[in-house]
Amino acid sequence: MDLGPFLFLATLEGLVSAAVLALTAVGLGLVFGVMRVVNVAHGEFFMLGAVVAWAVTNLMPGAPALGFVAALALSPLAAALVAIAADRAILRRLDYAPEAVIVATIGLGYILQQGALSLYGPEARAVAAPFSFRIQFPWFGYSGYKLAVIVFAALVLTGVWALLTRTKIGLVMRATQWDRETATAFGIDTDRVYALVFGLGAGLAATAAVLVAPISQAHYLMGGDPLLLSFAVVIIGGLGSLRGTVIAALLIGLTDGIVGVFFAPTLGKILATLLVALVLVFRPQGLFGRKTA
Amino acid sequence: MSLTVTNLHGGYGAVAVLHGIGFTVAPGEVLCLMGRNGAGKSTTLKAIMGLVRATSGEIRLDATRLDTLPAHDVPRAGVAWVPQGRRLFAELTVAENLEIGLLTRQSPPEVRERALELFPRLRERLTQASGTLSGGEQQMLAIARALCTEPRVLLLDEPTEGLQPSMIALIHDTVVRLKATGVATVLVEQRVDAALTVADRIAFVDRGRIAATLPAAGLDRSAAEFREWVGV
């Protein structure tokens, strides 16, 4: 294959990675942005999404598309409900103290991971794609499902943006993000806002996992890479910046895809890590973040 | 509605700041809390808002106990707070800050219009991020945001701090206009002139309790109470 088509293929692969990564990282960034806590269990909510997607698609009779649509609705809901329960049972009792939440979510992640191992097993299992057609380019054919993943992720991200900027609940979330105490003094039940945001963050990770499950299978250890890459994206983009998160996800996803196709997949991860290190040294608030006092 | 604070104790964690503070503010009355830094004036306002937990004592809005409510229900009961330093949602626009005020008690848009009539300059800034406003405009917005909650009791924590004289006069004028509508106001103020201009009574706060309460009309700026309790 010539360089041009090869680059095009690599770019498409990179966009798929970027789309999934953006969804996952926006969930992590939203939780940090509003609640000022780092959710180390975020990768396990991703895993939970894929595992529940496998269960739903296997339990649902009829066409694979039907099962997949059900999974796309139920997996994020399940992850969100687990997250809300964890928020009420654990994080709220810790009064969202940042250091304590890190330790607690390490434990929560471990519980989710071992729970999946016990109930789901150690195997990597395939999740059927809702459809399987190839789009034929002049140089190669490409999975229609992967292109659909890009479009769907873009739609969900647009929805998150609209939620934050165009709705009352988004306004309330942004006010809480800025100053929790003053938000409380204006009648905002910030405990409920936190539970909602923690659930939304987990739900976004689970949505990303459902989308990627037909491409990469569901496995109880699949949460590690999304967590690390999400941290990279959120650090590069700037904590609390939706725009920065999406742009950084594109940067990392495309780098990962293109370098991975042309050279070696590991080199893409090395470059992403190097970029994180450079951002931390030269612009700790991230490319689109604001300096904090 | 009257606000009655009775024998209130409380503080931050193990640090007790309030040691039995108590006062009453009637509808249409302005009570000014004065005292040295650290006397407990701002903490009292935060305790009324439920943001500092009272360990004992009572806070009542007429018959309703406020100190037993979750903090987010206090503004819904009709108490609004204009915090020291304004504490606007700086990334939100002026209109969005006002919207947060309206959401508190699900107030109709006319309430926002009434608040904007007091501060017409804000109308020209509705789409501007509130953090980019001048200090005076920020204070106008902080008060307008509180008024959007349709309060019966207004808690103002040093609203004229750092403002130029024309802006101070506007804020005082606003307090007087609100007084005429029957709003009970608790004003924390460090400046004697300001207190004497707008207050009906002045309560001197010392070490977390009221040391003395006097009618403002009977005081002038050379009164011994100001030297003793405020240090001016």
Which CATH number belongs to the domain containing residue A101 in this structure?
1.10.3470
Judge whether B184 and B29 are in contact, CB under 8 Å: yes
Average confidence (pLDDT) over B159-169? 92
pLDDT on residue A293: 43
Among residues A68, A86, A177, A185, the alpha carbon closest in space to that of A131 is found at: A68
Burial group, residue B57, by CB count within 10 angstroms (0-12, 13-18, 19+): middle
Q: Which of residues 185-224 of B touch A (CB under 8 A)?
A: none
CB of B227 less than 8 A from some CB of A: no
Residues B63, B158 share a domain = yes
Residues B159, B47 share a domain = yes
Per the CB < 8 Å rule, is A187 touching B90?
Answer: no
Final residue of a domain: which of B149, B181, B197?
A: B149
Residues B62, B28 share a domain = yes
pLDDT in tens, A268-285: 888 888 989 999 999 988
Residues B61, B22 share a domain = yes
B136-142: long-range contacts at Cβ-Cβ below 8 A with a sequence spacing of 24 or more?
Answer: B136/B163, B136/B164, B136/B167, B136/B170, B138/B86, B138/B88, B139/B86, B139/B163, B139/B167, B139/B171, B140/B170, B140/B171, B141/B86, B141/B88, B141/B94, B141/B97, B141/B98, B142/B82, B142/B83, B142/B86, B142/B87, B142/B88
Task: Tell me whether residue A8 is in a domain.
Answer: no
pLDDT on residue B221: 82
Task: Tell me whether residue A138 is in a domain.
Answer: no
Residues B24, B95 share a domain = no
Residues B125, B36 share a domain = no
pLDDT in tens, A40-59: 999 999 999 999 999 999 99
- Chain A interface mutation, best of B12, B76, B103, B154, highest count of A Cβ atoms under 10 Å: B103
The complex scores an ipTM of 0.95
Task: Tell me whether residue A3 is in a domain.
Answer: no
Task: Tell me whether residue A288 is in a domain.
Answer: no
- Residue A103: both structure tokens together: 């330790």
Out of A178, A181, A184, the one facing B92 most closely (by C-beta) is: A178
Among residues A5, A16, A33, A69, the alpha carbon closest in space to that of A243 is found at: A33
CB of B109 less than 8 A from some CB of A: no
Q: What is the DSSP string of B16-42?
A: EEEEEEEEEE-TT-EEEEEE-TTSSHH
Residue A104 CA to residue A109 CA, distance in Å, equals: 9
Final residue of a domain: which of B149, B184, B201?
A: B149
Strand B64-65, strand B54-61: pairing: antiparallel
CB of B132 less than 8 A from some CB of A: no
Residues of A with CB under 8 A from a CB of B: 168, 171-172, 174-175, 178-179, 181-190
- Chain B interface mutation, best of A186, A241, A243, highest count of B Cβ atoms under 10 Å: A186
Residues of chain A positioned with their CB less than 8 A from the CB of B104: 186-187
Judge whether A211 and A195 are in contact, CB under 8 Å: no
Res A156 pLDDT > 50: yes
Site of tokens 């011994």: B224
Residues B32, B17 share a domain = yes
Torsion of CA A78, A80, A82, A86, to 10 degrees: 180
pLDDT in tens, A256-270: 888 888 888 888 888
Beta bridge partners of B79: B153
Residues B164, B72 share a domain = yes
Residue A122 CA to residue A103 CA, distance in Å, equals: 25
Residues B92, B50 share a domain = no
A4 — pLDDT class (breaks 50, 70, 90): confident
- Chain A interface mutation, best of B66, B84, B89, highest count of A Cβ atoms under 10 Å: B89
Residue B52 CA to residue B67 CA, distance in Å, equals: 10
Per the CB < 8 Å rule, is A178 touching B91?
Answer: yes
Residues B164, B145 share a domain = no
Residues B184, B144 share a domain = no
Distance from CA of A99 to the nearest CA of B (A): 19
Domain that holds residue A88: 16-128+143-282
Strand B54-61, strand B3-12: pairing: antiparallel
Residues B142, B107 share a domain = yes
Res B130 pLDDT > 90: yes
Number of domains in chain B: 2
pLDDT on residue A291: 62
Residue B206 CA to residue A155 CA, distance in Å, equals: 59
The three-state secondary structure class of A264 is: coil
Res B105 pLDDT > 80: yes
Res A239 pLDDT > 80: no
Domain that holds residue B208: 3-78+151-230
What percentage of chain B has pLDDT greater than the value 70? 100
Number of domains in chain A: 1
Judge whether B75 and B105 are in contact, CB under 8 Å: yes
Per the CB < 8 Å rule, is A171 touching B72?
Answer: no
